[in-house]
């Protein structure tokens, strides 16, 4: 009997050991890398159909992941767009609705949520969010540098070598959420390299002059430089074991600094490139027509990290779209532009569906002024003067282009499916009266939900201000 008990005990230990060894291991938390470009219009890249600009790394990423064709930023300026991405709240509700403003006191942000999940949360590159204590990232010292012979914050460059070092040294026992924020292709633009200004295709919302083409060549050079930085980060991920399972997201805060783009609510200003690679989870080479807002990145990333997004966000996870379980996400999304200190003081709001864009201009009597029209040459005045010269000489096309940029009607309506560059305002067209009325009501309801006082026109000075670091 004793021998039997010894044998039974031995078998029990062995069997228990086998069962324990075969037990499923807890899934390793997903590492997440979000690469944000600065002032970049979606149509200026190979994955979105451009044939006159070189973006091989974006093309490679799109071939390995999912490209979104209807991703919309919450604002056409840097701070509001980034603050909305990192709070999951639209700009007026989070408080940072003008450029260079701070979010409301007490709001939680992306690093708070990921710290709760046990992540290391790092930001390398451009910051331009605040206050710093409410964005509790690990800010990477030395992730920015000043190119030789340059000075001024707008010349700041991302040092991708710092990202390489971070990925090589990070303890993989702790999950990583890494934001890489390049400064390109924000102005100032480097000298043109490898682009012939005469062969560039000028978008139809811009006036085609020699000076416009010269500046487009510089902008394209900066776009290709940014694409190379993306490639360097992708290479670092590959070298250090992050490429095969990490979620890599590529997007832009808003459109490029051109007329009818940045600082405006046309698609050139708020429609963003969005590409997501997640091996084994997202089908390679796929595309999605789902309408998403960039604020939706926060809950999507949280769900990918096995977290539960807060229920009081404006943002909604599109993880089911990434997994191929759904083809749709939002019926409509919204964007705001309140202003930029002493420039761009023409507040406006927009609602965007798959078919229509409605823009409400809250101060249509105000002449639109931006850094393009009223600041230094490197911000755009160089080519804007060529437009003004043509207009002064009687060129009807130049007069129309300048008038359209400088002066806005109270309401604008565009069929963005038939007119993707929003060249024909349909607000007065009886054939689109029903759509206008529906979107007008959506806009009113949304503004009230966001806490706006409809009896007042929001201005930049209405928001909270304070120190707002541009870069580490």
**Residue 214 included in any domain:** yes
Kindly state the percentage of the chain with pLDDT values over 70: 94
**Could you report the per-residue pLDDT of 189-219, keeping only the tens digit for each?**
999 999 999 999 999 999 999 999 999 999 9
Mean pLDDT across the stretch 264-277? Answer: 98
Is 428 found in the same domain as 315? no
Interacting residues of 238 by C-beta distance below 8 A, sequence separation 6+: none
Mean pLDDT across the stretch 109-115? Answer: 98
**Residue 343 included in any domain:** no
**Residue 10 included in any domain:** no
Q: What is the DSSP string of 140-194?
A: -TTSEEPPTT--SGGG-EE-HHHHHHHHHH--TTS-EEEEEE--TTSSSPPPP-S
Cα gap 401→164, rounded to integer Å: 45
CATH code (residue 38): 3.40.720.10
* Both structure tokens of 264: 């405006």
Is 424 found in the same domain as 326? no
Domain end (from 296, 330, 364): 330
pLDDT of residue 470: 84
**Residue 26 included in any domain:** no
Domain end (from 264, 295, 330): 330
Is 353 found in the same domain as 244? no
Q: Is the pLDDT at 2 greater than 60, yes or no?
A: no
Is 415 found in the same domain as 325? no
Q: How does the average pLDDT of the chain come out, rounded? A: 93
Q: Is the pLDDT at 174 greater than 80, yes or no?
A: yes
Confidence of residue 375 (pLDDT cuts 50, 70, 90): confident
Q: Is the pLDDT at 19 greater than 70, yes or no?
A: no
Is 356 found in the same domain as 255? no
* Both structure tokens of 411: 């309401």
Q: What is the DSSP string of 4-33?
A: HHHHHHHHHHHHHHHHHHHSPPPPPPPPEE
Taking Cα atoms as reference points, which of 109, 176, 104, 174 lies closest to residue 136?
109
* Residue scoring higher pLDDT (230 or 470): 230
**Residue 14 included in any domain:** no
Cα gap 242→231, rounded to integer Å: 14
Lowest mean pLDDT among 5-14, 121-130, 319-328, 451-460: 5-14
pLDDT of residue 20: 41
**Could you report the per-residue pLDDT of 441-461, keeping only the tens digit for each?**
999 999 999 999 999 999 999
Dihedral sign, Cα of residue 295, residue 300, residue 306, residue 312: positive
3-state secondary structure of 74: coil
Is 408 found in the same domain as 270? no
**Residue 340 included in any domain:** no
Lowest mean pLDDT among 53-57, 83-87, 107-111, 145-149: 145-149
**Could you report the per-residue pLDDT of 211-265, keeping only the tens digit for each?**
999 999 999 999 999 999 999 999 999 999 999 999 999 999 999 999 999 999 9
* Residue scoring higher pLDDT (329 or 467): 329
Mean pLDDT across the stretch 11-19? Answer: 40
Q: Is the pLDDT at 18 greater than 80, yes or no?
A: no
Is 360 found in the same domain as 278? no
Confidence of residue 377 (pLDDT cuts 50, 70, 90): low
**Residue 470 included in any domain:** no
Domain end (from 330, 361, 391): 330
Is 56 found in the same domain as 197? yes
CATH code (residue 440): 3.30.1120
**Residue 355 included in any domain:** yes
Is 267 found in the same domain as 144? yes
Enclosing domain of residue 229: 32-330
Is 273 found in the same domain as 367? no
Is 152 found in the same domain as 96? yes
Count of structural domains, the chain = 2
Is 352 found in the same domain as 318? no
pLDDT of residue 23: 45
Q: Determine whether 232 is exposed, middle or buried from the number of CB atoms within 10 Å of its CB (0-12, 13-18, 19+).
A: middle
Q: What is the DSSP string of 387-440?
A: HHHHHHTT-HHHHHHHHHHH---SEEEEETTT-TT--S--TT-GGGHHHHHHHH
pLDDT of residue 96: 98
* Both structure tokens of 49: 């159909």
């Amino acid at each position: 009997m004793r021998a039997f008990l010894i044998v039974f005990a031995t078998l029990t230990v062995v069997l228990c050991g086998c069962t324990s060894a075969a037990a499923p291991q807890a899934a390793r938390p997903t590492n997440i890398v979000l690469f944000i470009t600065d002032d970049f219009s979606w149509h200026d890249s190979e994955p979105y159909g451009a044939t006159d600009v070189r973006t091989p790394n974006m093309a490679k990423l799109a071939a390995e992941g999912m490209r979104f064709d209807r991703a919309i930023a919450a604002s056409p300026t840097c701070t509001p767009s980034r603050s909305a991405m990192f709070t999951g709240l639209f700009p007026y509700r989070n408080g940072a609705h003008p450029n260079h403003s701070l979010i409301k006191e007490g709001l939680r942000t992306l690093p708070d949520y990921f710290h709760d999940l046990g992540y290391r949360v790092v930001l390398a590159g451009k910051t331009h969010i605040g206050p710093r204590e409410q964005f509790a990232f690990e800010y990477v010292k030395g992730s920015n540098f000043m190119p030789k012979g340059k000075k001024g914050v707008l010349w700041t460059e991302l040092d991708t070598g710092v990202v390489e070092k971070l990925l090589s040294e990070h303890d993989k026992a702790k999950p990583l959420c890494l934001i890489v924020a390049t400064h390109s292709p924000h102005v100032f633009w480097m000298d043109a390299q490898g682009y012939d200004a005469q062969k560039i295709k000028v978008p139809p919302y811009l006036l085609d002059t020699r000076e416009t083409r010269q500046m487009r060549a510089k902008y394209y050079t900066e776009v290709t430089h940014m694409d190379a930085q993306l490639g360097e980060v992708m290479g670092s991920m590959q070298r250090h074991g992050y490429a095969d399972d990490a979620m890599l997201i590529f997007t832009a805060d808003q459109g490029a600094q051109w007329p009818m783009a940045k600082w405006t609510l046309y698609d050139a200003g708020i429609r963003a490139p969005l590409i997501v690679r997640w091996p084994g989870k997202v089908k390679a080479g796929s595309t999605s027509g789902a309408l998403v807002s960039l604020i939706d990145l926060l809950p999507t990333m949280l769900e990918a990290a096995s977290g539960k997004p807060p229920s009081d966000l404006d943002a909604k996870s599109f993880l089911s779209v990434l997994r191929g379980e759904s083809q749709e996400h939002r019926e409509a999304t919204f964007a705001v532009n309140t202003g930029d200190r002493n420039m761009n003081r023409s507040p406006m709001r927009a609602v965007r569906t798959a078919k229509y864009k409605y823009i409400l201009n809250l101060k249509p009597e105000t002449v639109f002024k931006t850094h393009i029209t009223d600041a230094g040459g490197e911000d755009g005045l160089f080519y804007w003067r060529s437009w003004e010269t043509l207009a002064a000489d009687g060129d009807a096309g130049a007069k129309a282009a300048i008038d359209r940029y400088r002066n806005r009607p109270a309401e604008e309506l565009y069929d963005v499916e038939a007119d993707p560059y929003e060249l024909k305002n349909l607000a007065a067209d009886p054939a689109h009266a029903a759509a206008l009325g529906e979107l007008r009501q959506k806009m009113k309801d949304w503004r009230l939900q966001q806490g706006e006082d409809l009896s007042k026109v929001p201005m930049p000075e209405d928001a909270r201000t304070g120190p707002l670091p541009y870069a580490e």
